[in-house]
Structure 1
Amino acid sequence: MKIDVRNMYTTYAINPLALKDTRPRLSWVVETSERRKKQSAYRVLISSSQQLIEQNEGNIWDTHKIESEDNYCYYSGEELESFKRYYWKVKIWDEKGEESTWSKTSFFETGPLNKSDWKAKWITKRDLKTFYSAGDFSTEKFKHYHAAYFRKTFEIKNEVQSARAYISGLGFYELYLNGEKVGNNVLDPGQSEYSKEALFNVYNITSFITEQNCVGVILGNGRHLEQFGYSKPKLIIQILLEYVNGEKEYILSDESWGSSHGPLQENGMYYGEKYDGTLEMPDWCTYHFDASNWEEVEVTEGPNLRYQNMPPIRVTKILKPIKMYTLKPGVFVYDFGQNFTGWVKINVSGPKGTQLKLRHSELVNEDGSLKTNTLRKAEATDIYILKGEGKESYEPRFTYHGFRYVEVSGSPFVPTIDNIEGRFIHSDVEKVGDFYCSNELINKIHKNILWGQLSNLHSIPTDCPQRDERFGWMGDAQLSAEEAIYNFDMSLFYENYLQEIKLSQKEDGSISDVVPAYIKLYPADPAWGTAYITIAWYLYKYYKNEKVLSDHYESMKNYVEFLHKSSENNLLKKLGKFGDWCPPGAISPKKTPVEFTSTWYYYNDVYLFSKIAEVLGKEKDAQHYFELSENIKKSFNDYFLKDYGYESRMFGPVDRLISQTSQILPIYYNMVPNDKKEFILEKLINNIVEHQDSHLDTGIVGTRYLFDVLSENGYPDLAFRIATQESYPSWGYMIKEGATTVWERWEKLEAGGMNSQNHIMLGSVDTFFYKYLAGISLEKDGWKKARIKPHLVGEERFASAKIKTIIGEFQVSWEKGENLFKLSVVIPFGTEADVFIPKLWNEFNLKEERELLFDNEQIKDFKERNDIKLKEYNEENIILNLGSGQYYFELEKK
């Protein structure tokens, strides 16, 4: 049997080093070139040593042969031990009962599974220098601290077999060992509700250990500030040494550590950073450094700790400027040609004490000078003071900027374009999707969305990367979630975010619009609060994560009950604040009542929660909340459905223009009474085509669902026309005006105010490209079945997409010629797909790999095979059911 079992995941991660689950999910992906193959059984082994697993001995757990088509299982052996490595592998049987070889061995390590496993103490620097940002931030409430340096020396007792460092430094930290930085993460740990829980990281430091060692840590502010309810930066670190003789030793943060200030001084996410090279302490984190003038640390209290199992923030791309110019002597501007998040690394040389200033912005004025209006109060300025020792390089540590342009002033020489490079940083989520088509505008929109999405993944889903905000607004998060899942592996990122939502929840069940709740905005607008239910449901649908549903079930139920208690006659009239945010020409919704979107999301959350209860086998809850959703639907229609369509705000006695969003939302969920469906759809289409000249008039909520509604109800060509508009309001208009990401508003606005040039909430259109242009959509949870239905719209000549899922990679590629249509499909092992081949001509031949399936349009002539089954034949499509494998179809005009 030519089957390869690979891509082994433990709770959605590859070889995690500090597993937090005592009953981890073990999953695998199977690859084969054969068609219509699926798994019938599996066997998993877990061993305590490499030697035992190689001998096929599962001394920890042996499932033996389990009859199942699922490519995952949950560990159910004896309780796992803290700080231990486990090895595992799997084999499977196919539908014919043929057995595969064993997979390669994977492993996972447990970390501190119990609170008592943390033996280290939280420490902080006793006397920290303070500074204040300019403007309205120059008050005691907005106090920041200079970076703090910490060090500790230790010697080993024997030969070290393995060494791990478990560390959390709030707000951000960098870890050093024997003069070298450990790992390539930046801005660690991820942001969290620090008063309740902080994230910790773990590093394999075995290769760093020598006989005499020094561990060093630099701490920066991040969001761990009094402004958000916290205190001074603090550190906890626990190094575990395991010797070859079996002995263990801990190196712990405690009173024995020393601390100091150093060259890294002012630092803040909005402020920027100041680094004085003249104050550098060479070899400060090496064993023989003279630290006699370092002061003792202070032991302090700290929050509970949770393993940061999501991908860390890293530098993922290096950008070179496309242009450099000067405004006046000593002032130079670099244009990177792309709005992105991160910082720049600059290479310089000059006299000791020379001060370089680096200012960042998304925009420039007509004369080329920086336009910083969209930054609002964020200073976004980095300062480097040269140490004067020949060639020097500098890049920040504890800040980041959203920018395209950098102004460098104070340089002692005329720099070149090669003196500087941009560092693109974001949560390093794996790219799993790819899309390309014959329409270059669509490709540019897709590219802008990718840049915008990654720019707003910084351990939490942020709203913007440049101004004095960058919060985890839940509306932005939930509206872009499906788009993000098509493009990136978001499983662990969103699982972490759900935990932050749970931590933000009050006893009454309410949650904040912003999570973590650095600003307390309770209760959330229902279109924002829905992120809890909606993202949890996506994690189940796309990643088959039942555990996240059970872990958050009671908290989600409390939120749904909060909505219920806040309702009046099954309507939510008082919780809404934002609604269909940012429609064309406004910030607040113009035509769509806020209570309309609030009540619709109330229905959404109750209905989805009934499905969640059903998945978890909670039949009584499932029935109760489904009935409640039906009652909400009835009340929604009784109250909002008018003679002219669903309720819209009218701006005068002759105003007859309806709200597009008000019609879109009930169509999306099939809430419209049967006798009104055609009428409501006609109202929507008429408004778009006749009154808006085939443009949308939706805010972030309506835009999210518009393309699904049009495509699923027979108007994919109109959806495509909207997506490819180049006049206002449209994504094409943004691009014509120079956008390289997606704007916060439909308008070209560059003054002060709410007009970020890098937002993601309007990036939801990207799902239209995958689901309808290329045609890949999910039919059964966990991708156990897909729908492949390309929509041949406009003048599109070809489109292709691929998506790496938890079950394997789907690929679709189609090409349309005058007399020939080609479709290539790849379906992963263990799943199936209904494939829609459009009937482009009355008379045609259909072939698969040159074998004739149809020799005319009569269904009786279909040459059915085991791997290709005819499911349906209608006026528009030939619908085939395919199992796993690669298929090449040609539809040729006769």
Structure 2
Amino acid sequence: MPSTRLLPTALLLTLAASPFAGASPSVGADSSAKGASGNLSIQSPRVERSNTPSYVDTPTPRFSWLIASPVNGTRQTGYRIVVTHEGKPVWDSGDVRSPQSFDIDYAGPALLPGQRYEWRAEVQTSDGNGSTTSHFDTALDEPGWHGAKWIGKADATSVPAPLLRKVFHVDANATRATLYVAAGGYADLSVDGRPVSDAVLSPGFTDYDKRVEVVANDVPLTPGEHTLAAELGRGFYGMTNPNVWHWERAPWHGQPRLRALLRIRYDDGHVQDIVTDDSWRMADGPTRLDDLYGGETYDARASTPRTWVPAAVLPVPRGKLVAQTEQPIRVIDTLHATSVTEPKPGVFVFAFARVIAGWATFDVTGPAGTTITAHYGEKLMPDGTVDARDEHHYFKAGFQTDRLTLAGTRERWHPRFSYKGFRYVQVEGWPGGEPALGAVTAQVVHTDVAVTGRFESANPLLDWIHRAAVDTLLNNLYGIPTDTPMYEKNGWTGDGMLGADMFLRNVDADRLLAKWVRDIADTRKADGSPLLIAPNPGWGDVRAPTWHAAYVLVPWSLWMNAGDRRPIDEHIEGIARYVAMENARSPGGIADTELGDWVSPETDPGGENAPEDKRVAATAYLYRMQRVTADMLRLRGDTTRAAGFDAQADLVRDAFNARFLDRVAGRYRGEGDKGYRQAHNLLALAFGLVPDDLRDRVAAGVAADAKARGDHLDTGALATKIILPVLTATGHADEAWRIATQVSFPSWGFWRANGATSLWEHWKLASRSRGHYFLGTVDDWLFGDVAGLRPLEPGWRRIEVRPAVTAWLDHASAAVMTPYGEASVAWRKVGGRVELDVHVPVGAEAVIGLPGRSDKVVGSGDHHLGAP
């Protein structure tokens, strides 16, 4: 066993607040029952952590619910789950004496494919009994697709987006119609011109050689003739714009393709299947070009094709069909322009209130053949035009530009198969002079995760940081956690790893992150190591344990924050293999990496490593991965292998201290460092590498260096996540506060003072991206220390409430959605006292600590404490 464990604050790297997927009211029925209070209710029934599970492809779906009771100390004592199919019993768990209320595995006979099952949970508590009901639909097996083919256009060089259509007849007495869709790229489907769903950029994006996601939607149909139509977009499947990551030559690359099945059920039991095959008709549509990076070209004159030909049956993607488990991407909001300027003749710039991800909608009338060009950007050039430059020369065929050619009638158009990061839209070629303010609107688009975390304080800057962090992370949720919606749109592993706690605290991102861990696993090379971005077209084969650690630490974050153990069980063998490999290629226990503490303040705004020895961060992360892997193995009962990883971690810790620790100076240093490096010392403290007798000196050194820099940090993405929590935990909360509330460079307040509405990629004003969350992990500190709310055990079963009360702040509050329901804290100073209110959900308990009084353990309910 290790002789040195983590500082409590280090747990913030993985023990941070988290909402639970689907905790909002569900489609199921919630039942109230008379208990001691008369107001007990069982709420939010979920299967596979979803309120609307329309395509469940696991043989053991998991059941969950929430309990609401006004009685303090209420606890669940047991449950019974009953699953039925068409009114007939399938599985009855019997009465189970257990407090477990989420992720309870189905344990009945094999479920039939393509069927709807109803379920009921009967829950017993100390405040009485209650129940809830809901349903779920199972996935199709291959025979269930009834011979549906993959179809599209045969011409491999043709660029316009294909339109596909099929006319069919519905008889009387149809009871239900379900449309199942899989695509290489994106598929925008409609019936009689009405969208099948409000999802966009659907289905989700994967490594199409490994997995292809399926979505299912019920479709209302009346008797008579109908037309099922689809427009296909390229997405990351058939990209044509050459780029530095080589998506245009991904192993799966090809023309967009569709596989669909419309299953119509009738009241007499018979089924009618409409499947994709060569009886469908195909034509080139008005979307003449679509590219996720470059934008779209749309010719309204081609909106009604004259020539339709039989659809081509195309090769089957190599990936396995799987359920899309992450929430769909949707249009979330519409913003209206705050101004229109004309920086140059005929060039009009629409400004919006904040940086978003999504697209613009254009409402315009003009002569046929008129082409309007729109450039999107997050900032302006000195002359007032939009900065839409591809500064790094990533793309060879356009960047963030839409083109709309008019047909001579009023057009209301928006892109369908690309999105942009932007605050400004520059239009050229607008007919009839200056456009009206309402002629261009902006749609906020991202994965439709509920925002369930809250933070508020007496300090406007801290509140701004939190709001900007949430907006920025939402702008980067597109089925995966991306690094920037404007430039790269890639699932950089290091970025997602650093942001995982923040995601899980603020939004119900657990399903998305669990899917993304599968994406990371899909990138692994023959030696077991992941690549830098996930999904991946075969790019980024460099050694970077600081980034590859996402494969290890994101599953651990899901376990600690959301109580989701399945990613650990699913990936433990791959994780153990990778960590063992990383250890084996670290001679003498010292690891190396191409990526260290990225974008520290003195680096180039285009992005580079901090001027320091990258081996320090690499070795610290190797140690962290070894400890976490050991903990995962212990969780699964594999104590022998766990002990082996702990033993390796001990050797790495000793090698780390022998190589990098200056005991006389009480600090860590590496070769080629540019002066004192905060990151080295913070990583050693956060990960538990510092010998006990030197912790205070090392922490004091970090605080002293920040003080000498005028109370500023000197950290990049890796160490910014931990600097404030580490300082707070080691007795330097005042210095943490001064760093957090700075308004001069480098600081979050510096961004705000310079007009930021989101978080940036770099501390400098010349930052390329204005939509990057990885320097915003200060949000961890806002929840865990300023408000004082963090989990002590996986899934928030035990909650710690311990605000770091200082002279700098009079009140703060926070709330998170746990697997048991919402947990919240609010504290304020009142006449020299600290008054604190805590809400603990049923199923959890809290340890409350306030200055000047002993810790108190409380059960569920509402609690008020004061100190001294």
TM-score, length of structure 2 as denominator length: 0.90
Query: Is 1:179–2:173 an aligned residue pair?
Result: no
Relative contact order higher in (CA < 8 Å, ≥ 6 apart):
2
User: Which residue of 642, 646, 649 corresponds with 1:626?
Assistant: 646
Q: Tell which deviates more after alignment, 59-68 or 562-571.
A: 562-571
Q: Which amino acid aligns with 1:177?
A: V
Q: Which amino acid aligns with 2:130?
A: T
Q: What's the counterpart of residue 871 of structure 1?
A: none
Q: What's the counterpart of residue 97 of structure 2?
A: 67
User: Which residue of 354, 360, 376 corresponds with 2:376?
Assistant: 360
The offset of 1:383, in angstroms, is 1.2
The offset of 1:821, in angstroms, is 3.1
> Structure 2: how far apart are the matches of 1:75 and 1:766?
37
Distance 1:292 1:514, change over 3 A: closer
User: Which residue of 212, 224, 227 corresponds with 2:237?
Assistant: 224
> Structure 2: how far apart are the matches of 1:560 and 1:316?
40
8 Å contact from structure 1 (residues 161, 242) kept in 2: yes
Q: Which amino acid aligns with 2:131?
A: W
Q: For residue 782 of structure 1, give the secondary structure of its aligned residue in structure 2.
A: helix
The offset of 1:236, in angstroms, is 1.0
Q: What's the counterpart of residue 745 of structure 2?
A: 728
Query: Is 1:703–2:720 an aligned residue pair?
Result: yes
User: Which residue of 307, 311, 327 corresponds with 2:327?
Assistant: 311
Q: Which amino acid aligns with 1:793?
A: T
Q: What's the counterpart of residue 266 of structure 1?
A: 289
> Structure 1: how far apart are the matches of 2:67 and 2:399?
51
Q: In the TM superposition, what whole-angstrom CA distance separates every residue of 1:447-494 from its partner, at most 9, and x where no partner exists?
A: 111121011111111111112x22111010001111111101111000
Q: What's the counterpart of residue 110 of structure 1?
A: 138
Q: In the TM superposition, what whole-angstrom CA distance separates every residue of 1:21-65 from its partner, at most 9, and x where no partner exists?
A: 11011111101010011112111111113x56xxxxxx1111111
Q: Which amino acid aligns with 2:555?
A: A
Q: For residue 258 of structure 2, give the secondary structure of its aligned residue in structure 1.
A: strand
Q: For residue 270 of structure 1, give the secondary structure of its aligned residue in structure 2.
A: coil
Q: What's the counterpart of residue 10 of structure 2?
A: none
The offset of 1:645, in angstroms, is 3.9
Q: What's the counterpart of residue 10 of structure 1?
A: 47
> Structure 1: how far apart are the matches of 2:122 and 2:128?
7
> Structure 2: how far apart are the matches of 1:741 and 1:148?
37
> Structure 2: how far apart are the matches of 1:296 and 1:314?
29
Q: For residue 359 of structure 1, give the secondary structure of its aligned residue in structure 2.
A: strand
8 Å contact from structure 1 (residues 645, 663) kept in 2: no
Q: What's the counterpart of residue 500 of structure 1?
A: 519
The offset of 1:118, in angstroms, is 6.6
Q: What's the counterpart of residue 80 of structure 1?
A: 111
8 Å contact from structure 1 (residues 374, 466) kept in 2: no
Distance 1:296 1:68, change over 3 A: closer
Q: Which amino acid aligns with 2:281?
A: G
Query: Is 1:886–2:862 an aligned residue pair?
Result: yes
> Structure 1: how far apart are the matches of 2:827 and 2:653?
40
Q: What's the counterpart of residue 638 of structure 1?
A: 658
Superposition pairs of residues 675-714 of structure 1, within 5 angstroms: 675-690=693-708, 692-714=709-731
The offset of 1:311, in angstroms, is 0.6
The offset of 1:710, in angstroms, is 1.3
User: Which residue of 821, 828, 852 corresponds with 1:815?
Assistant: 828
8 Å contact from structure 2 (residues 282, 308) kept in 1: no
- The gaps in structure 1 that reach 5 residues or longer are 53-58, 131-144, 285-290, 840-876
8 Å contact from structure 2 (residues 811, 826) kept in 1: yes
Q: What's the counterpart of residue 217 of structure 2?
A: 203
Distance 1:552 1:627, change over 3 A: same
8 Å contact from structure 1 (residues 361, 403) kept in 2: yes
8 Å contact from structure 2 (residues 553, 625) kept in 1: yes
The offset of 1:627, in angstroms, is 1.9
User: Which residue of 773, 778, 795 corresponds with 2:786?
Assistant: 773
The offset of 1:91, in angstroms, is 2.0
The offset of 1:803, in angstroms, is 0.9
Query: Is 1:799–2:830 an aligned residue pair?
Result: no
Q: For residue 550 of structure 1, give the secondary structure of its aligned residue in structure 2.
A: helix
Q: In the TM superposition, what whole-angstrom CA distance separates every residue of 1:154-199 from its partner, at most 9, and x where no partner exists?
A: 2235522211111122211201112211111111122111122221
User: Which residue of 351, 361, 375 corresponds with 1:335?
Assistant: 351
> Structure 2: how far apart are the matches of 1:292 and 1:736?
57
Q: What's the counterpart of residue 546 of structure 2?
A: 527
8 Å contact from structure 1 (residues 237, 253) kept in 2: yes
Q: For residue 373 of structure 1, give the secondary structure of its aligned residue in structure 2.
A: coil
Query: Is 1:648–2:663 an aligned residue pair?
Result: no
Q: In the TM superposition, what whole-angstrom CA distance separates every residue of 1:417-439 from its partner, at most 9, and x where no partner exists?
A: 12221101111111110111111
User: Which residue of 229, 239, 242 corresponds with 2:262?
Assistant: 239
> Structure 2: how far apart are the matches of 1:440 and 1:405?
26
The offset of 1:891, in angstroms, is 4.6
Q: For residue 204 of structure 2, give the secondary structure of its aligned residue in structure 1.
A: coil
CA RMSD of aligned residues (A): 1.9
Q: For residue 712 of structure 2, give the secondary structure of its aligned residue in structure 1.
A: coil
Q: For residue 583 of structure 2, give the secondary structure of its aligned residue in structure 1.
A: helix
- Aligned-pair identity (%): 28
Q: Tell which deviates more after alignment, 527-536 or 623-632.
A: 623-632
> Structure 2: how far apart are the matches of 1:314 and 1:719?
38
Distance 1:278 1:591, change over 3 A: closer
Kindly tell me the number of residue pairs found equivalent between the two proteins. 810
The offset of 1:129, in angstroms, is 5.6
8 Å contact from structure 1 (residues 15, 109) kept in 2: no
Q: Which amino acid aligns with 1:582?
A: V
Q: What's the counterpart of residue 409 of structure 1?
A: 428
Q: What's the counterpart of residue 465 of structure 2?
A: 445
> Structure 1: how far apart are the matches of 2:140 and 2:728?
49
8 Å contact from structure 1 (residues 129, 146) kept in 2: no
Q: For residue 23 of structure 1, give the secondary structure of its aligned residue in structure 2.
A: coil
> Structure 2: how far apart are the matches of 1:681 and 1:358?
51
Q: Which amino acid aligns with 1:5?
A: I
> Structure 1: how far apart are the matches of 2:106 and 2:80?
12
Q: What's the counterpart of residue 610 of structure 2?
A: 590
8 Å contact from structure 1 (residues 5, 31) kept in 2: yes
> Structure 1: how far apart are the matches of 2:152 and 2:551?
35
> Structure 1: how far apart are the matches of 2:399 and 2:130?
59
Q: For residue 532 of structure 2, give the secondary structure of its aligned residue in structure 1.
A: coil
8 Å contact from structure 2 (residues 667, 701) kept in 1: no
The offset of 1:248, in angstroms, is 2.1
Q: What's the counterpart of residue 4 of structure 2?
A: none
Q: For residue 643 of structure 2, give the secondary structure of its aligned residue in structure 1.
A: helix
The offset of 1:591, in angstroms, is 4.5
The offset of 1:705, in angstroms, is 1.5
The offset of 1:292, in angstroms, is 6.6
Q: What's the counterpart of residue 824 of structure 1?
A: 837
Q: What's the counterpart of residue 138 of structure 1?
A: none
Q: What's the counterpart of residue 676 of structure 2?
A: 658
The offset of 1:649, in angstroms, is 4.5
Distance 1:642 1:124, change over 3 A: same
Q: What's the counterpart of residue 302 of structure 1?
A: 317
The offset of 1:523, in angstroms, is 4.2
Q: For residue 855 of structure 2, give the secondary structure of its aligned residue in structure 1.
A: strand
Q: Which amino acid aligns with 1:35?
A: N
> Structure 1: how far apart are the matches of 2:830 and 2:143?
64
